[in-house]
Amino acid sequence: MAGKLTIGGASGFWGETAQSVPQLLGHEGLDVLVFDYLAEITMSILARAKAKDETAGYARDFVTDAMAPNLHDIAKRNIKVLSNAGGLNPQACARALQIEITRLGLDLKVATVEGDDLMPRRDRYTDKREMFSNRAFPDADKITSMNAYFGAGPIIAALDAGADIVITGRCVDSALTLAAAAHHFGWGMDDFDRLAAGSLAGHLLECGPQATGGNFTDWQEAGDLAAIGYPVIEIEDDGVITLTKPAGTGGCVTPASVAEQMLYEIGDPRAYVLPDVTCDFSEVKLEQEDATRVRITGAKGQSPTGQLKVSLTHMNGYRAGHVFFFNGRDARRKAESYANMGLARARAKMTQLGVPEFSDVCVETFGGTAGPDGYEEITLKTAVRHEDARAVGLFLKETMGAALATPPGMHMFTGGGRPRPSPVVELFSFLVPAEDVQLSVTLEGASVSFEAPTSLSSKAPTTPATEPEIATTTAPLTAVPLERLAWARSGDKGDKANIGVIARDPEFLPWIWQALTPERVADVFGNLIQGPVERFYLPGTHSMNLLLHAALGGGGVASLRNDPQAKSFAQVLLNTSVPIPSDRLTHDMKGAPDAL
């Protein structure tokens, strides 16, 4: 089909504000709304909810907050809606939505996609090892959810059958957008370059306003963040993408804001593996068309692997922690002394009771450097993890019980009571053959058939790696903070962290590459990183992606870290010094903050 398809990204996580929907509905020419709600931990939360109530297990606010108030406008304008809000119960989500559609007297056809839930067949996979850590398969009675990430195929089938709204389980986030484009243009599932472009479009939309100034290094450029514009993708039949936002909204759309999102939470950009295509984003180019439009070209694709990733979540003990504040002279030493005192008391009682040691302990202090008089203001976070909830409770009781024996200056926000042990939900990922996952599509009670694509490869193909030119000069070098030379954003995938670094000027990239060696990056983060550091070059956007293995203490709620999702890692790296020729600092710094 000729022309362009206009898609709005209305949600990036479960809990996203519903103000996005009326804003996007006001965008002229909107064809499709996509809503992404799911993350690994979200699935375990939904699993617990469904276990208590068979009508639960989906993102209820998709129905009540996002759809119900806007269904009239959606129906009037013939806008398609695609969402993974179904979680672990797409049928219940569809039924709840159908009640609202009927109440309003509307004629909207709702389809569901199911079959990603592998819990009924979990005994078939007990020989699987965790694909990143090689851990053994967890005990079956501790598994809370087990879902395969599927692709665009069944969603396309639902649209082809006439669905107005498609509700899925655990599809790949970007598959919603890819399905909309493939259905609209009639793309073949072997047209890998177009599939890669559609997947990139979905990746740019899947985190909502993070593509339009949210979480952006130069956040001041985004203006009124309270009124930030949600992202809109215009995609053409040849795979050319334009990213924009609704008129009159806050935020910003620049090559830098788009590049940060493109690199967000990916690994090797030459082999971004998805169920429908293996993407290569290394040669993607970003061009500012006008103040609020960026043109995106150059995504390439190769065949998929024929395997689907399965994310299993399981219970693995309990954890809890306290947050306290200390001030005065030597506040950091006071805080650490208090934390050690609480731990010592708890361990002494555990020894008396014959209880084994904590499986993990984390003591972190945050705050400014002491002034000449030694005065500091420090935040203390102390936390533990143990197989037995009672041992965690003992730590909480003994730490709080030491409050009158503390060094001076300890204070806290009160009123919520003492924290309680909470279950640790740990992620376990592995691969299964795509044919193991039997997906089903239902439209208004009738089954819709679809043909799963045949894989052409047994492993992820990879474009040969390249590196930027070697940086050389005879001029004197000056060390400046990385933020003066680059934008950066960080994120997580399980226990791995990624940091995307985009040079403000292409001339800076060789110097950045030379400075940010894997060894240097590992040194910057010290003992936070327990695994290797990889780096990848993207010549199209004069950028690099850093992948830090075993960097998050287990990641998610399995971690005791203050930042278990690497959200702050880019800020740490941006403060790292990079030597660069002094004469390069005399010309326009391409928007680098003046304070630097």
Please name which of 9, 13, 11 lies closest in space to residue 39, comparing C-alpha atoms: 13
Sign of CA dihedral 501, 506, 510, 511: negative
376 CB burial (10 A radius; 0-12, 13-18, 19+): buried
Q: How far apart are CA 253 and CA 247, in angstroms?
A: 12
Beta-carbon-side half-sphere exposure of residue 13 (alpha carbons within 13 Å): 8
| Tens digits of residue pLDDT in 112-164 | 999 999 999 999 999 999 999 899 999 999 999 999 999 999 999 999 999 99
Q: Over 50: is that where the pLDDT of 370 sits?
A: yes
Please name which of 29, 105, 18, 2 lies closest in space to residue 66, comparing C-alpha atoms: 18
Ramachandran class of 465: left when φ > 0, alpha when ψ lies in -120 to 50, beta otherwise: beta
User: Tokens for 283?
Assistant: 């040669």
Ramachandran class of 101: left when φ > 0, alpha when ψ lies in -120 to 50, beta otherwise: alpha
Q: Over 60: is that where the pLDDT of 180 sits?
A: yes
Per-residue pLDDT band for 43 (boundaries 50, 70, 90) equals confident
* Residue 536 β-bridge partners: 545
Per-residue pLDDT band for 531 (boundaries 50, 70, 90) equals very high
| Tens digits of residue pLDDT in 245-261 | 999 999 999 999 999 99
For residues 172 and 150, the answer to whether their CB atoms sit within 8 Å is yes
Per-residue pLDDT band for 2 (boundaries 50, 70, 90) equals low
Per-residue pLDDT band for 373 (boundaries 50, 70, 90) equals confident
Amino acid 494: pLDDT: 87
Q: Over 80: is that where the pLDDT of 170 sits?
A: yes
Amino acid 321: pLDDT: 95
Amino acid 1: pLDDT: 61
Q: How far apart are CA 441 and CA 169, in angstroms?
A: 11
230 CB burial (10 A radius; 0-12, 13-18, 19+): buried
**How far, rounded to the nearest angstrom, does the alpha carbon of residue 328 sit from its chain's CA centroid?**
38
For residues 574 and 488, the answer to whether their CB atoms sit within 8 Å is yes
Tell me which of 1-5, 491-495, 510-514, 553-557 is least confident: 1-5
For residues 296 and 242, the answer to whether their CB atoms sit within 8 Å is yes
Amino acid 384: pLDDT: 98
Amino acid 215: pLDDT: 96
Q: How far apart are CA 308 and CA 414, in angstroms?
A: 47
